[in-house]
């Protein structure tokens, strides 16, 4: 199998894209270490993904804190012997007009999204160096490269844009160590993040209304993003690094007629 005995660390791993990605790596032979802020969600994920617990571990905590990132990587080393792949997927998202953002909002976006990616990568890279290489795949965003009037997201977009820039910098700095660093940039993907600020009926209405926003005529599913993450983390992408790959139903290609 493609990822037999590889050790994969996934932040934001309890739900949505992170959980779907963990499932896919497990099916391909990997050992998984999950991080998220809600321990209950991580326990639910582990029970669903691997009830035996042999191939999955977790660490609950805010990945925006450097010590959480260090402890997460220590958990991977202690449980499975090292780190081969890091998926930086932790994030928060709640569209809000710029003038309504508080200092706490700004700090949360930058800390969890950009800080989490920075700190987890800084903790994981030395372990990848010990193994002669590795792969980091970040979850960026369409919102990092273009503003969408219907979803004002200035702090979120700025933090995600930082991930895109960090991707290129780390790709160049650690290419000689055979550590590849890439990012997937989704558009609208159906994940539980929308339920943090909308009820179930509102989620359905909003996402259905956004279908036509995507040239391919439908919003995304977590499995679409997972497929791109697996590709970038795997051997078929062995000569790819520093890439920001849109997984967005064609949005990045340009405007289309409605």
Residue 253 falls inside a structural domain? no
Report the domain count for the chain.
Answer: 1
Question: 18 pLDDT exceeds 60?
Answer: yes
CATH of the domain at 210: 3.40.50.720
Mean pLDDT of the chain: 92
| For the chain, percent of residues with pLDDT exceeding 70 | 91
Q: Indicate the pLDDT class of residue 220, thresholds 50, 70 and 90.
A: confident
Q: How confident is the model at residue 1 (pLDDT cuts 50, 70, 90)?
A: confident
Q: How confident is the model at residue 49 (pLDDT cuts 50, 70, 90)?
A: very high
- The length of the chain is 258
Whether residue 2 lies inside any domain: the answer is no
**Cα gap 174→205, rounded to integer Å:** 44
224 tagged catalytic: no
Report the alpha-carbon distance of residue 46 to residue 32 in Å, rounded.
10
CB 88 within 8 A of CB 11: yes
Q: What pLDDT sits at residue 210?
A: 64
Prediction pTM value: 0.93
CB 174 within 8 A of CB 127: no
Range of the domain at 11: 7-247
pLDDT given for residue 22 in this prediction: 98
pLDDT of residue 218: 79
Place of tokens 């895109």: 164
Q: Residue 251's pLDDT band (boundaries 50, 70, 90)?
A: confident
Quick check: is 155 in a domain? yes
Q: Rounded to the nearest 5°, which phi and psi values hold at 139?
A: -95, 105
Measured from the Cβ of residue 209, the count of other Cβ atoms closer than 10 Å reads: 11
* Beta strand 179-186 pairing with 244-247: parallel
Residue 33 — pLDDT band, cuts 50, 70, 90? very high
Confidence bin at 193 (pLDDT 50/70/90): low
| Annotated active-site residue in 58, 109, 156, 194 | 156
* 199 assigned to some structural domain: yes
* Within-domain flag for 101: yes
């Amino acid at each position: 199998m493609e990822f037999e005995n590889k050790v994969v660390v996934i932040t934001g791993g309890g739900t949505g894209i992170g959980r779907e990605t963990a499932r896919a790596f497990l099916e391909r032979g990997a050992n998984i270490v999950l991080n998220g802020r809600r321990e209950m969600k991580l326990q639910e994920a582990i029970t669903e993904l691997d009830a035996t617990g042999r191939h999955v571990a977790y660490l609950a905590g805010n990945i925006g804190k450097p010590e959480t990132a260090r402890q997460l990587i220590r958990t991977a080393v202690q449980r499975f012997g090292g780190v081969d792949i890091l998926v930086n997927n932790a994030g928060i998202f709640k569209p809000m007009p710029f003038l309504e953002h508080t200092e706490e909002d700004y700090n949360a976006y930058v800390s969890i999204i950009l800080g989490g990616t920075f700190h987890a990568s800084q903790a994981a890279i030395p372990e990848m160096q010990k193994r002669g290489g590795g792969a980091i795949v970040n979850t960026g965003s369409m919102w990092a490269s273009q503003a969408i009037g219907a979803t004002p997201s200035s702090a979120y977009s700025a933090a995600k844009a930082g991930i895109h820039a960090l991707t290129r910098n780390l790709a160049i700095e650690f290419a000689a160590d055979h550590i590849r660093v890439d990012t997937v940039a989704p558009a609208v993907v159906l994940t539980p993040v929308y339920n943090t600020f909308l009820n179930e009926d509102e989620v359905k209405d909003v996402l259905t209304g956004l279908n036509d926003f995507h040239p391919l005529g439908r919003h995304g599913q977590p499995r679409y993003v997972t497929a791109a993450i697996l590709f970038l983390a795997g051997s078929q992408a062995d000569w790819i690094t520093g890439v920001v790959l849109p997984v967005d139903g064609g949005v990045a290609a340009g405007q289309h007629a409605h």
